Amino acid sequence: MNDSGWERLTDAIDIKLGISRHGRDMRALEDRPDLSEKVEYIEFANDGQELRLERTTGPAIVDRKSHYSHRAGTANRMEYIYDTNETAQKVTLYRRQDDDWEAVDMNELAL
């Protein structure tokens, strides 16, 4: 989602539901601590549920490699190959479940 699309979406949420919290963070990639991604987020309430919308911008994944064990057909882990010159973005919606954020389908956010 480009910058203008993100702005339109967050503005629509702010107008319709109000934003309780917003911010930006940088975090290291789980599998490549030498690389980082930028996370922009807003938090708001809808139908009594606390929701968080995140837009993550980081290095683009250009390849995936499966590493297998010697057992028949089971992949032990996936290795991602990143292009540090290209960026990719993704938007994820979360719902607060106790003290954690649980990913939910974006279609649940009907504006």
- Give pLDDT tens digits along the chain (111 positions): 788 999 999 999 999 999 999 999 999 998 899 999 999 999 999 888 999 999 999 999 999 887 776 666 565 777 899 998 999 999 999 999 988 999 998 877 665
For residue 66, being part of any structural domain is answered with: no
**Quick one: pLDDT at residue 72?**
61
Does 76 map to a domain? no
Residue type, 3: D
* Any domain includes 103: yes
Contacts of 60 (CB under 8 A, 6+ apart): 82, 83, 86, 87, 88
Task: Classify residue 39: in a domain, yes or no.
Answer: yes
Integer Cα distance of 111 and 109 in angstroms: 6
Structural domain includes residue 68: no
The answer to whether the CB of 38 falls within 8 A of the CB of 61 is no
Residue 77, domain member (yes or no): no
In sequence order, the β-bridge partners of residue 14 are none
Model pTM above 0.75: yes
Number of domains in the chain: 1
The tokens for 29 are: 């990639």
Q: By residue range, what is the domain housing residue 50?
A: 3-59+87-108
- Domain assignment present for 73: no
